[in-house]
Amino acid sequence: MSKLSKRLGEFKPGYYSERTFHKPSPEPVSHVCREEWQEYQKERQRLAEEKRLARKKREEEREELEQRQRERREAATARLASHGLSVLNITRHCLKEQEREEKAALNRQVQPEQAQRFPHFKHWLGKRNPSLANLWRFRKRIAPGVEVRKRKFPKTGTLTSPYAAYREMVKKRFPEKMDESRLDAAIALYMHCAGYTVQEVANELYRHAPRRSSGQSPDERTEYGRRVIGYAFGTAGEIDIANVQPTEEQINNFVQEVEQDKERIPRQSSRLRMK
C-alpha cells in the first residue's frame, strides 16, 4: 500500500452509490427447449447434491485421518519419552513424513472429482440432440408459439437457370441496400420454398453469384456457397420460414412472378459477372 501511495498519492475513498451496482436479473426461461432445460436443471441439481455429499464425506475422512494421526503421535510420544529427546525428534520427523504422504494420497482422490464440471446447457444439449442445440442457438429469433420443423416443399419452380430471375424478385421485394451475402441467402431461401433441391441451388450459386473479390479461389467460392446453403436449408432458414408460414398460394404467386419476369430480364451475364 505504501508503494502505491508513493506512486499514485494518498488514498482517498470514493463515493459509490448503491444504485451503481446491482445484481443483474436472471434471463427469463426461453420457450425454446423448455422441457430439455428443466431436465438439464434436474441433472445439474443432482450432480450438485452428489458433490455436496462427496465433499461432506471427504471432510469426515479428513477429520478421521487427523484424529488417527493425532492419537498416533500422542501414543508414540508417550511410548518413547523415556528414550530421550533425540529419539523423539527422529520419531516426530518420521511421523510427519508419513502424515504428509497420507494427506497427499487423500488429496489425489479429490482432484479427479473436482475436475468434473457440469457442461453449459448448449454443450449438454448438443451432445443429446444437435438439432435442438441449433434451435437453442437461434432461440431469440423464434417467436413464441411457432413450431419449427423441416419442411419439404413441392417443386413449383420450372426455370432451368433461375438465379437471375430470383435475384431481381428479391431486390424488388427488399429495395433497401442489402449485402451480397444476405441477398444470396434470401435468393436461396426463396428457391428452397419453390422446391429447388440443395444441389440445384448450390449449382446456381456457384455459377451465377457475383464474385466477392478478384482473387477468390474456387475453394473459397465453394465454401461461400456452402454457408449460404447451410442457412437456407438449415435451422436458421427453417426458423425464418416458420415465422412467416408461407402458404401454398403465396409460394405459387412469387413463383409466377419470377417466371413472368424472367421473360423480361435481358441477358445479365456481364452484369452479374457469371463465371
* pLDDT score, position 237: 92
Residue 253: what residue type? Answer: N
Q: What is the pLDDT of residue 266?
A: 52
Per-residue pLDDT reduced to its tens digit, 109-130: 766 655 568 899 999 999 999 9
How many angstroms separate the most distant Cα atoms in the chain? 115
Which of 161, 159, 189, 196 is CA-nearest to residue 174?
A: 189
What's the pLDDT tens digit per position in 36-66?
Answer: 999 999 999 999 998 899 889 888 989 998 9
Confidence class of residue 24 from pLDDT cuts 50, 70 and 90? confident
pLDDT tens figures, 171-208: 988 888 888 889 999 999 999 999 999 999 999 988 88
Confidence (pLDDT) at 233: 94
Contact present, 160 and 249 (Cβ < 8 Å):
no
What does residue 184 show for φ and ψ, rounded to 5 degrees? -65, -35
Q: Taking all residues of the chain, what is their mean pLDDT, rounded to a whole number?
A: 84
Q: Report the C-alpha gap between 255 and 109 in whole angstroms.
A: 67
Distance from C-alpha of 204 to C-alpha of 191, rounded to nearest angstrom: 10
Query: Within a 13 Å sphere around the CA of 224, how many CA atoms are in the beta-carbon half?
Result: 22
Tell me what pLDDT residue 19 has.
63
Tens digit of pLDDT for each residue in 124-151? 999 999 989 989 999 988 888 888 888 8
pLDDT at residue 272, rounded to an integer: 31
Has residue 78 got a pLDDT over 70?
Answer: yes
Distance CA 192, CA 198 (A): 8
Q: What is the dihedral of CA 195, 201, 207, 209, to 10 degrees?
A: 100
Percent of the chain clearing pLDDT 70 (strictly above): 87
- Write out pLDDT tens, residues 222-274: 888 899 999 999 999 999 999 888 999 999 999 888 888 766 655 443 233 32
